[in-house]
Structure 1
C-alpha cells in the first residue's frame, strides 16, 4: 500500500473512531480532528491524504458491526419510530427523513434529520409554538451553484434525541440535494416509505425470534 493511501486509511479509521467513541456527528469535523493527529502537514492537506466521507462511513459501519451488532437494530428501530412521529405530526410541510436514521448508520448520539417545505419559515415556527413544542432556530448559509443561500434550521428534542428540521421552499422539494457522503442524489423517505421500512424491520425481527 502506498504511503499516501496508508495515511488516508488511518485518518478514515481515526475519524470513524472519533464519531463512535467521542460522538462527533459531523464528518467534516471528525475528519479534520483526525487529520491533525497525524501532524500539521496532513491536517492542512486538502488533497489525497484526506479520506472521503464515504470512506469514513465505511469504517464507522465496521465499528458498529463489531461493537453493536445486538444493540444497533433496536436503536435504529426506536429512532425510526420517533422520526415517523414527527413526519406525521408535520405532514402539512410534506417532510422527508434524510441522514443516518434513514441509512441505518446510527450511533448512540445520532440525531434525526428532517427536510420541511414552507413558503415562509415562520409557518414552521408558528406551528411548533401553537403545539407548545420548544425549539431553537439557526440560520445556515450553504453554497449552491456558486451562490450563497440562507436556510432556517429548527432544533427540537424528544426522548433525549435531537431533531433537526431544515426548511426549504416548496419549489425545492423536487430538487434532490447531493449527499455529502456518496456525492449522489440524497436518499429521502416520506412517512409512507418510512412505515414500510419499519414494517420490514419488525417482520425480520419476528422471523428471527425463538418459536415456542
Structure 2
C-alpha cells in the first residue's frame, strides 16, 4: 500500500488549501479582484507568513470556481456573459489601441462586481486619456504594477478606470513592444492569458 505523506507535507498542503479558500472567499464576497492581493490578505488573516506555504494563483482560481459553483451557480454565468459582451463593445471602441482582454472576464471567473480589464498598446501613455476626454468619457487616472516578459522586475504602467452601464473598466496602457513581450504571471513567469477582439468574438460565439 502507498505510504501516507509526511505530516509536514500534509500540514503544508492544508495551509495552502486554507489560504486558497479564504482568498477565493475574499474575491467573491469582499470586492477584491486582484488575486495576488487576495492571497496576501488571506495569508495574513490566517497567520501563515511564509510565502513558501502560499498557494499558486491557479489554485486560488480553482478554489474560486468551486466557490461560485456552490454559491453563485444561478447568477455568475449571466454576469460573465454580460461582462464579455461589454468587453467586446469596449474593444471595438478602443480598436486603435490594439486592446487585449485579460483577467476574470477572460478566465470565466467574473461576477457582477468584476472589472473588465483591457491592456491597450501605445507608446504615447497619454493618448488613451485624451481619446476618452474627446469622447466625453470621464475617467480617473491610475497605475498598475506588471512585469513584462524579458524584464527582471515589475514596473508601474499608467491607465485609467471608469464605469459604464454599471460595469467597471480598467484600461492599462502598455508600450507597443508589449504585444511581443506581454505581461507575465508573478508565479511562473509565463505570459498572462490575453485575448484579441477576434478571439473574444469566437469565445462568445461558442457560448451562444
How high is the TM-score relative to the length of structure 2? 0.87
1:184 Cα deviation (Å)? 2.8
Q: 1:122: which partner in 2?
A: 126
Q: 2:83: which partner in 1?
A: 79
Q: Paired residues, what number?
A: 198
Cα deviations by residue, 1:25-68 (Å, 9 ceiling, x for unpaired): 111222222222323xx2x3122x21111111110000111222
SS at match of 1:189: coil
- The yes-or-no answer on 1:173 pairing with 2:179 is yes
Q: Distance in 2 between matches of 1:63 and 1:98?
A: 21
Cα deviations by residue, 1:87-114 (Å, 9 ceiling, x for unpaired): 0001111111111101101123111110
Correspondences of 1:3-152 after superposition (within 5 Å): 3-39=11-47, 42=48, 44-47=49-52, 49-142=53-146, 145-147=151-153, 149-152=155-158
SS at match of 1:37: helix
SS at match of 1:115: strand
- The yes-or-no answer on 1:159 pairing with 2:165 is yes
List runs of 5+ in structure 1 lacking aligned partners. Answer: 203-212
Q: Distance in 1 between matches of 2:86 and 2:62?
A: 25
Q: Distance in 2 between matches of 1:166 and 1:65?
A: 30
List runs of 5+ in structure 2 lacking aligned partners. Answer: none
- 180 and 66 in structure 1: CA distance in 2 versus 1, 3 angstrom threshold: farther
- 150 and 21 in structure 1: CA distance in 2 versus 1, 3 angstrom threshold: closer
Correspondences of 1:192-207 after superposition (within 5 Å): 192-202=198-208
Q: Distance in 2 between matches of 1:148 and 1:76?
A: 29
The answer as to whether partners of 2:80 and 2:112 remain within 8 angstroms in 1 is no
The answer as to whether partners of 2:119 and 2:171 remain within 8 angstroms in 1 is yes
Q: What RMSD over aligned residues (CA atoms) do the two structures have, in Å? A: 1.9
The answer as to whether partners of 1:19 and 1:30 remain within 8 angstroms in 2 is yes
- 184 and 72 in structure 1: CA distance in 2 versus 1, 3 angstrom threshold: same
Cα deviations by residue, 1:89-140 (Å, 9 ceiling, x for unpaired): 0111111111110110112311111011112122111110000001011234
4+ residue runs of structure 1 moved beyond 6 angstroms?
Answer: none
